[in-house]
Amino acid sequence: MSIVDKIVRGTLKIDQGQPVLLKKIPYMMYPARSMAVLIQKIADQLDDDALFQLGYDAGMLAGKEFIDKLGWLGKSLLHRKKSLFRMFEVMGFGKIDVKYWNANKDMVVIHMTDHPVIEHAIKLYGKKEKSSLFYRGIYSAHTHFEFGIENCKFVETQSQTKGAKFFEWSFNYFDTKQKKKISSADE
Amino acid sequence: MKEDGVIKELISKGILDSTTRNRLQILDAIDMSMYGGTSWPLTIQTIGKKTGKDGVFDLGLAMGTDAAEELAAAIKKKKLFLPESVLLVDNLIQAAGFGVVEIDVIKRKKEIVLYVNNNAMLKLAYQMYGEKSLTDWFYAGVYTGMIRVLLGVPKCKLRVQKKKKKGTVEYVYTYKG
């Protein structure tokens, strides 16, 4: 078992039937497919902006709890991105590949794959799936709150829902009208 | 069986394991994911402002029904290799992540009482929203879906009953056919 695996296995425990991160933060665990069903049903009630915002608000609260309850430990984890992203992957949050990150300029590009809820959503609903939009909101909030990309609101430039190999989510990196990288990304 | 015994049993038998495609799965078939504890009641409460408690119940029912159907399909494939204790409905509810419950089935399934022994989401929701919490209705839907599919009570529709006890609330869900 790698050191990263050991760290991941040590951080997450099942306490009285429900997962707890680092003995302090409770999580809800659920079958991913049923979550895809739930999100799609929620999407019947909300427009896309509201669904994104729902995810964003959830992500902001979770991010705040992460920092508030873990304190210095939480902040130190943010510098161990490899371990943190591995933990997120095991927790069913997908595999994140950071392609560009500049907190000074609030610019970021990530590729995301292997998200179990979104995978099931695509199988069940095809191009009408809404789970990726919901999680884009959640990830935007976490990227703002814990990872220092101020007011991050991800835009999607590639989508597995539409057949791409990964989801490409970015903030302040592409000029979406001209469909090219903005010049300050190279500075 | 002790409260978290079924989870330990699942882990020890490799049924709940993180080494399959680097994600949690149960029964080698059901992908699991997670959601922040305090975020869950927030999400339910936000939706509930628009849909009311009946709408929130329906959302829970959709989630619980699908979870139960996925579990039932996986169990059908692996039944011979699963310990008997895992196949009890209240243990399956726990394995699916919906809390620690005890179910009493009375009068040949015409009455059902579900006691929630531990559900961190219900507790958090009550701390956040008190009597206005809609998360208890969400779980009424979830447990209804699970019971309809796994216990074979298609007309089940659980209702929430709460008992206040020393600053906290105990949840009991009931159905009378």
From residue B159, give the alpha-carbon distance in Å to each of B19, B91, B143.
39, 21, 10
Per-residue model confidence (pLDDT) at position A131 = 98
Give the residue ranges of chain B where pLDDT is below 50. 1-3
Contact A92/B23, CB-based, under 8 Å? yes
Question: In the predicted model, is pLDDT for residue A77 greater than 70?
Answer: no
Closest residue in chain A to residue B23, using alpha carbons only: A90
How far, rounded to the nearest angstrom, does the alpha carbon of residue A184 sit from its chain's CA centroid? Answer: 25
Q: How far apart are CA A40 and CA A28, in angstroms?
A: 19
B65 vs A67, residue with greater confidence = B65
User: Mutating which of A12, A22, A30 best tests the B interface, going by the most B Cβ atoms within 10 A?
Assistant: A30
For chain B, the residue count is 177
Contact A89/B11, CB-based, under 8 Å? no
From residue B78, give the alpha-carbon distance in Å to each of A80, A146, B1, B7, B97.
39, 42, 21, 17, 20
Dihedral sign, Cα of residue A113, residue A118, residue A120, residue A126: negative
CA-based nearest distance A118→chain B, Å: 11
- Cβ atoms within 10 Å, residue A176: 12
Contact B97/A33, CB-based, under 8 Å? no
- Residue numbers in A near B125 (CB within 8 A): none
Contact B37/A28, CB-based, under 8 Å? yes
User: Mutating which of A2, A16, A131, A132 best tests the B interface, going by the most B Cβ atoms within 10 A?
Assistant: A16
Nearest to B33 among A17, A30, A95 (CB): A30
CA dihedral (A146, A133, A124, A63) in degrees, to 10, reads 20
Q: How far apart are CA B47 and CA B7, in angstroms?
A: 31
Determine the average pLDDT of the residues in A13-36: 83
In DSSP terms, A15 is beta-bridged to A18
In DSSP terms, A107 is beta-bridged to A102
CA-based nearest distance B111→chain A, Å: 26
Nearest to B118 among A17, A28, A119 (CB): A17
- Residue numbers in A near B34 (CB within 8 A): 19, 27-30, 91-93
Question: In the predicted model, is pLDDT for residue A34 greater than 70?
Answer: yes
pTM of the predicted model as reported, rounded to 2 decimal places: 0.89
Asked if residues A140 and A154 have their Cβ atoms less than 8 Å apart, the reply is yes
A25 vs A51, residue with greater confidence = A51
Q: A109-153: per-residue pLDDT in tens?
A: 999 999 999 999 999 999 999 999 999 999 999 888 877 889 999
Q: Does B96 touch chain A (CB under 8 A)?
A: yes
Nearest to B22 among A15, A89, A117 (CB): A89
- Residue numbers in A near B75 (CB within 8 A): none
How far, rounded to the nearest angstrom, does the alpha carbon of residue A124 sit from its chain's CA centroid? Answer: 21
Q: A154-166: per-residue pLDDT in tens?
A: 999 999 999 999 9
3-state secondary structure string, chain B?
CCCCHHHHHHHHCCCEEEEECCEEEECCCEEEEEEECCHHHHHHHHHHHHHHHHHHHHHHHHHHHHHHHHHHHHHHHHHHHCCHHHHCHHHHHHHCCCCEEEEEEECCCCEEEEEEEECHHHHHHHHHHHHHCCHHHHHHHHHHHHHHHHCCCCCCCCEEEEEEECCEEEEEEEEEC
Per-residue model confidence (pLDDT) at position B25 = 82
